Amino acid sequence: MPDNKDTIDFGYQEVPVHAKAAKVAEVFHSVASRYDIMNDLMSFGIHRIWKFITFHLSAVREGDTVLDLAGGTGDMTKKFSRLVGDSGRVVLADINHSMLQVGRARLLDQGYLANIHTVQANAECLPFPDNSFHCVCIAFGLRNVTHKQQALESMYRVLKPGGRLLILEFSKPTFPGLKPIYDAYSFSVLPRLGKLIAGDSNSYRYLAESIRRHPDQTTLKNMMETAGYLNVRYHNLTGGIVALHQGIK
């Protein structure tokens, strides 16, 4: 959706542009404590495979600096922390204070944080110097950003020349016959599961709706190229339910 409109999508609703970030914050504040449990239940654990593929394609090495953007509870931050080692650095950044609190507490309890910094940050205006990171990764967060093109440009700015952006996000099913099954699951099962486990059906209904409003695979690829990324390509995972986009600065 063009950035110069007065309203923008919040799931299937149209809300004032200035209100979207706060409404998204309410969603994640509500589900923060149960977020990881719900990820396992919603995806039947397959999200771990999607993330394993992301780590493999990140090409992150010892000594690198990594930005785990919209990193929430820090599950990907832990793996990046191990990959970069003591000589590297990982920044766990999220716009949502509740998610960041959960992530920091869990990382601390599990003996991490030696090479990890946590920062509350908006993807559209990242508070880091130009050319700061070898890799920027945003997993299941871009669809919640108000101005996606602006966020892609902000990520481009903080990447080092030759650095890599990875976007792991729900996308549009490409496997024949999968879409009606996926829709039925998303709009019937997920809200009920959210009510049962997280005590919140509305937030998971929003999450299902936000997936449908997110740009499809080709549109996101074009947006990345417009922001300046080179060698942009994507991999459909689980029949296109999820897509992993990557590009180079």
If one compares 89 and 98, the residue with the highest pLDDT of the two is: 89
Query: What is the sign of the dihedral through the CA atoms of 137, 209, 42 and 35?
Result: positive
Tokens of 102: 């959960």
pTM assigned to the model: 0.84
User: Could you tell me which of 168, 105, 93 has the C-alpha nearest to residue 132?
Assistant: 93
* pLDDT of 88 above 50: yes
CATH class of 18-176+203-248: alpha beta
If one compares 248 and 26, the residue with the highest pLDDT of the two is: 248
Boundaries of every domain in the chain: 18-176+203-248
DSSP string for residues in the chain:
--TTSSEEEETTEEEEGGGHHHHHHHHHHHHGGGHHHHHHHHHTTTHHHHHHHHHHHH---TT-EEEEET-TT-HHHHHHHHHH-TT-EEEEEES-HHHHHHHHHHHHHTT--TTEEEEE--GGG--S-TT-EEEEEEES-GGG-SSHHHHHHHHHHHEEEEEEEEEEEE----STTHHHHHHHIIIIIHHHHHHHHTS-HHHHHHHHHHHHHS--HHHHHHHHHHTT-EEEEEEEEGGGTEEEEEEE-
Percentage of the chain beyond pLDDT 90 is 54
Find the mean pLDDT for residues 77-91.
Answer: 96
Find the mean pLDDT for residues 33-39.
Answer: 59
Tokens of 86: 């003591």
* pLDDT of 57 above 50: yes
If one compares 138 and 180, the residue with the highest pLDDT of the two is: 138
